Chains A and B, each alone.
Chain A
Amino acid sequence: MKTKRIFILTMIIVIFGLINVYSSSHVWALYKYDDSFYYLKRQAIFACIGIVAMCVTSRIDYHIYKKYYKVILLSCFLLLILVLIPGLGVVRGGSRSWFNFGLFALQPSELFKIGMIIYAAVFIEKNYYKMKSLKYGLKLLMIMGLGFLLIMLQPDFGSGVVMACSIVVMVIVSPFPFVYFVGLGVCAIIGIILMILSAPYRMERILSFLDPFQDPLGSGFQAIQALYAIGPGGLLGVGFDKSIQKHFYLPEPQTDFIFAIVAEEFGFMGGVLLIGLYLMLFKTVLRLSQNVKDLFGSLLAIGIISMIGIQTLINLGVVVGLFPVTGVTLPLMSYGGTSLTITLMSIGILINIAKDKNCVL
């Protein structure tokens, strides 16, 4: 029952995503590649690959990851290091985050997220009672921190934050005492300040989010263009394919800002409905994680759903103007092969956890 619901919700979002990838991208696609369907075709191919991968992972017993967790993590680290080497890693949009394989590009940070979650789930299960001491908690967080640093070197702030947050959520649900987080929080704030000092454009981004109209052609540009899409959408939207903002006003509307075009074309109702779909998916998985008797499975489910959930909320928050522009895609919706495939694979893992005979349902 649960597995079916997860599957159906995922499929609805993916199909809705494909429709919107087409609607939001065809103007740019025609302009850049002389093919209105360029982005749709590629996204559709990755959706198919992803769905196949999801079916595969949903049939692979998730306990197998426990066996290879170190190998998985180490190879993820290796990829993170390799991608930083010029010639191997490709720069796109100012970040060296991609391996180019001709037909498609691979984003190692996407792989690292899931690898790190598997590692954390195994680590917490193995050292469950030792997590009460600061030492073990810190050890896990430091491994995560190393990965975070490597991701920041690309730099890919968005992926880094999403990964870090989902690991933190996993640590929080472990016996690791909450008070330590207060101290860690202070460290994090200091870290953020240091990061801003090291790259002043981040400060600009934060400032531009407070009042995008201060610098309408610079740091506030994307935020304003998103508002110009969302605002005129109103209650019911301007109608499918009637968006004006996708006509070169909003840069690459099929990726990070796809929700803005959804809100423009389908209005407040469409936006809330989509958010509702995501919430239903998250709620289903969260309830599942509580009911899994297997500790590893439960932690893995929490980790994966935190990753997808946090990324979704950050993306929506950015698009509506609650957070500064970070460069995080909307899971299952935004155009992006690696992201879509990995997310679908992770959902496959979730489905497999739900199938486990240790699951109460």
Chain B
Amino acid sequence: MTLIVIAIIVRLGYSQFYMYEELSLKATESWQRGFPLEASRGKIYDSQQKILVDNLTTSSLIVVPSQIKDPVNTAYQLSQILECSQEKLLEKIKKKVSVERIQPEGRQLEEEKAYQIDRLKLPGVYLVQDTLRYYPHKNYLAQTLGFVGIDNQGLVGLELKYDKYLSGVNGSINYYMNAKSQNLNIYPAEYIYPTNGMDIELTIDTRVQDVVERELNNAYNTYHPDSILCLAMDPRNGKILALCSKPDFDPNDYKNADSEIYNRNLPIWKSYEPGSTFKIITFSSALNENLFDMDKDTYYDKGYEIVGGARIKSWKKGGHGLQTFREVLQNSSNPGFVEIGRRLGKDKLYQYVNDFGLTEKTNVDLTGESKGIMFSYDRFNEVEQATVAFGQGISVTPIQLVRAVSACVNGGYLYQPYIVNKIYNSKTHEVIVENKEKCIRQVIKEDTSKKVRDALEGVVTDGGGKNAYIDGYRIGGKTGTAQRAINGTYAGNGYILSFLGVAPIDDPQIVLYIAMDNPKNCVQYGGTTVAPIARKMFVDILPALGVKKVTEQREKAYVWSDVKTFDVENYIGLTKKEVKNEHYGFEFLGEGDYVIDQLPRVGEKIEEGKKVKIQLGHKVTTVDE
């Protein structure tokens, strides 16, 4: 008997001391009915503290099934207001749970519906505070921001990528109730306060993004391209200032959006042949290797180059003729770049493509980045080497290209691009994560970079990028026109027109890239169609960024007002002996007795004492097609 008494007391003590915590917790769980208190999700701002993603306070419907006396009537009344199936509602109302959240029908209710429900005063039916994610600028930056699901969980874009930081911890009001789910007043309700999510500040600058969105919308409506994209980066640190894709969608109404649209953030997702914009990379690499003096050394573009038995043509019928290498870039001469590629050689070109980060993901902090496609070293032979040199046979993403070009103009430094400036506690403003610029490697020399900037300015003042020229701002850039590849072969029609601009060229603060896929009713040339868009953007962006206007800049054509200049006469077709002038000299290139080309051309200006370059050849020139 004593044993049993001891056993009883020990067992009593075991339950009340050793198991105290566990049993109390479980018992409390069974006594309390928790009404959710939704945590406020972190907001997203741009670098200027302008709000991009906000929350709205709404109410949501919850029911306590055991308190509902007339489930059928309750379901009927609610279904009238919520405009949903009465049967489904009845099922939820009759569930054997302490508290049931009616969703999705009863989540984030409009004020009017919430008011109607509140007025019914149905027993066991409650409205609790809820938050609704709100994108005040609608389609603005949509693919990048992404959106959240019904439980405010990140599904796409930054909302998904940084869900861990953005999402808070929901709280609850826990009422003590008896087993018949009526309030027990002997114990006060417990408040578990929600913890709000972290706020995020992006590198996105709405002053830039505003302009980009506006111009892309205009272009999209004017040219009806399949798609259009834009990416702006600060070349000094890799900060993404703006990125945009059209067609786009409204994250407030993502359910009606096409997943192909919201899942594809084109500036980081789309991978395609960059075309001529890629020439900046080849050109910079060759300059860095001192393979030519861009103003002194020349190349004669006869309209084609034969590579591995294949004929690579210049876009201009008959070729650009004799050009300095600066002009090879300005004219975007494909045979000229075949020559630059040859001079670089397989290994160097391959190495630079790698060093510029064009064969790897940039690891930007966004979801859905693609990698691009490049030949393997083994398959990188003569033809591949030639085509890659002028931007074909390689596929890159805009962000890869923009990062690489940023390295070409910023002194040679390849940066890690990023879009999140910092993540901080919304209440205390304590910074949790802060991103700083991260240099991966130096690809080209400072000096080379300076030359590249000079050459790119030339493209805008004298070359294919003239349409981007702005009075008072020094812009550099390069146009691009690439055939669209579909499943590895070129599509019969349609081009990707692009322009890559750098400004101000003497101290680059922004690298801006625009690409338009298959625009309609326009000249299918990047310099004609896309460069003006870039120009419009720069006109508004540069003052907004506080870039000062300059009083002196290179004119659209060379004019040296302080030096006496003369018009160059025509020498083409003459023999070598006939070439004479008293004001300027001549430099003969090539072999033969006849002049087949000259530089500068007829009517252009030349300074006194300078030399006109004369390309010699045989009487019958091989210009065809």
List residues of chain A with CB under 8 Å of any chain B CB.
27, 31, 227-235, 241-242, 244-245, 247-249, 263, 267-268, 271-272, 275, 279, 309, 313, 316-317, 320-322
Decide if B16 touches A268 in the complex (CB within 8 Å). Answer: yes
Q: Mark B34-77, 1 if CB is under 8 A from A, else 0.
A: 00000000000000000000000000000000000000000000
> Besides the contacts A263-B16, A309-B1, what 10 more A-B pairs have beta carbons closer than 8 Å?
A228-B30, A235-B16, A244-B184, A249-B31, A249-B178, A263-B12, A267-B16, A271-B12, A313-B1, A321-B11
B440-488, CB < 8 A from A: none
Which 4 residue pairs of A and B lie closest in terms of their CB atoms, listed nearest first?
A231-B23, A247-B178, A248-B179, A228-B27
**A78 vs B107: C-alpha distance in the bound complex, in angstroms?**
67
Sample 26 A-B pairs with CB under 8 A, ordered by A number. Answer: A227-B15, A228-B30, A229-B27, A231-B15, A231-B22, A232-B23, A232-B27, A233-B16, A234-B17, A234-B20, A244-B27, A244-B31, A244-B178, A244-B184, A249-B31, A249-B179, A267-B16, A268-B12, A268-B13, A271-B12, A275-B9, A313-B5, A316-B8, A317-B4, A320-B12, A322-B7
**A321 vs B14: C-alpha distance in the bound complex, in angstroms?**
11
B4 neighbours in A (Cβ, 8 Å): 313, 317, 322
Q: Mark B181-197, 1 if CB is under 8 A from A, else 0.
A: 00010110000000000
A interface, over-half SS:
helix
Smallest beta-carbon distance A317→chain B, Å: 6
**A272 vs B7: C-alpha distance in the bound complex, in angstroms?**
12
Residue of B1, B8, B26 near A228 (CB, 8 A) is B26
A230 neighbours in B (Cβ, 8 Å): 12, 15-16, 23
Decide if B8 touches A313 in the complex (CB within 8 Å). Answer: yes
Decide if B19 touches A248 in the complex (CB within 8 Å). Answer: no
Decide if B178 touches A268 in the complex (CB within 8 Å). Answer: no
B140-180, CB < 8 A from A: 176, 178-180
A247 neighbours in B (Cβ, 8 Å): 178-179, 184
- Report if A268-B17 is in contact (Cβ < 8 Å); known contacts: A231-B24, A279-B5, A322-B8: yes
- Report if A245-B12 is in contact (Cβ < 8 Å); known contacts: A313-B1, A313-B4, A322-B7: no
Smallest beta-carbon distance A273→chain B, Å: 11
A242 neighbours in B (Cβ, 8 Å): 186
CB nearest to A272 among chain B residues = B9
Residue of B16, B26, B30, B187 near A234 (CB, 8 A) is B16
CB nearest to B19 among chain A residues = A231
B180 neighbours in A (Cβ, 8 Å): 31, 248
Smallest beta-carbon distance B304→chain A, Å: 85
B27 neighbours in A (Cβ, 8 Å): 228-229, 231-232, 244-245
Decide if B184 touches A320 in the complex (CB within 8 Å). Answer: no
**A296 vs B485: C-alpha distance in the bound complex, in angstroms?**
112
CB nearest to B177 among chain A residues = A247
Residue of A228, A249, A263, A275 near B5 (CB, 8 A) is A275
Residue of B8, B23, B26, B176 near A320 (CB, 8 A) is B8
CB nearest to B18 among chain A residues = A231
- Report if A244-B187 is in contact (Cβ < 8 Å); known contacts: A227-B23, A228-B23, A234-B17: yes
Decide if A321 touches B15 in the complex (CB within 8 Å). Answer: yes
Decide if A317 touches B8 in the complex (CB within 8 Å). Answer: yes
Q: How many interface residues does chain B have, given as a range?
A: 20 to 34
Decide if A249 touches B8 in the complex (CB within 8 Å). Answer: no
Decide if A320 touches B5 in the complex (CB within 8 Å). Answer: no
Smallest beta-carbon distance A262→chain B, Å: 11
**A261 vs B1: C-alpha distance in the bound complex, in angstroms?**
24
B16 neighbours in A (Cβ, 8 Å): 230-231, 233-235, 263, 267-268, 271
CB nearest to A259 among chain B residues = B12
**A244 vs B176: C-alpha distance in the bound complex, in angstroms?**
9
B20 neighbours in A (Cβ, 8 Å): 231-232, 234
A31 neighbours in B (Cβ, 8 Å): 180
CB nearest to A313 among chain B residues = B4
**A268 vs B9: C-alpha distance in the bound complex, in angstroms?**
9
**A20 vs B8: C-alpha distance in the bound complex, in angstroms?**
20
B381-402, CB < 8 A from A: none
Decide if B15 touches A320 in the complex (CB within 8 Å). Answer: yes
**A19 vs B15: C-alpha distance in the bound complex, in angstroms?**
24
B17 neighbours in A (Cβ, 8 Å): 234-235, 268
**A235 vs B17: C-alpha distance in the bound complex, in angstroms?**
7
**A244 vs B188: C-alpha distance in the bound complex, in angstroms?**
13
Smallest beta-carbon distance B119→chain A, Å: 31
**A245 vs B187: C-alpha distance in the bound complex, in angstroms?**
13
Smallest beta-carbon distance A261→chain B, Å: 13
- Report if A27-B178 is in contact (Cβ < 8 Å); known contacts: A235-B17, A309-B1: yes
CB nearest to B179 among chain A residues = A248
Q: Mark B261-292, 1 if CB is under 8 A from A, else 0.
A: 00000000000000000000000000000000
Residue of B12, B28, B186 near A272 (CB, 8 A) is B12
B187 neighbours in A (Cβ, 8 Å): 244
Smallest beta-carbon distance A290→chain B, Å: 15
B12, B30, B184: most-surrounded residue (chain A CB, <10 A): B12
B15, B24, B26, B28: most-surrounded residue (chain A CB, <10 A): B15
A31, A229, A231, A233: most-surrounded residue (chain B CB, <10 A): A231
**A313 vs B17: C-alpha distance in the bound complex, in angstroms?**
21
**A149 vs B9: C-alpha distance in the bound complex, in angstroms?**
33
**A313 vs B27: C-alpha distance in the bound complex, in angstroms?**
26
B22 neighbours in A (Cβ, 8 Å): 231
A248 neighbours in B (Cβ, 8 Å): 178-180
CB nearest to A27 among chain B residues = B178
CB nearest to B176 among chain A residues = A244
Smallest beta-carbon distance A32→chain B, Å: 12
CB nearest to B28 among chain A residues = A232
B28, B31, B179: most-surrounded residue (chain A CB, <10 A): B179
B19, B22, B23, B28: most-surrounded residue (chain A CB, <10 A): B23
**A227 vs B15: C-alpha distance in the bound complex, in angstroms?**
7
Smallest beta-carbon distance B25→chain A, Å: 9
**A232 vs B17: C-alpha distance in the bound complex, in angstroms?**
9
Smallest beta-carbon distance B311→chain A, Å: 83
CB nearest to A314 among chain B residues = B4
**A228 vs B7: C-alpha distance in the bound complex, in angstroms?**
19
CB nearest to A248 among chain B residues = B179
Smallest beta-carbon distance A201→chain B, Å: 23
B176 neighbours in A (Cβ, 8 Å): 244
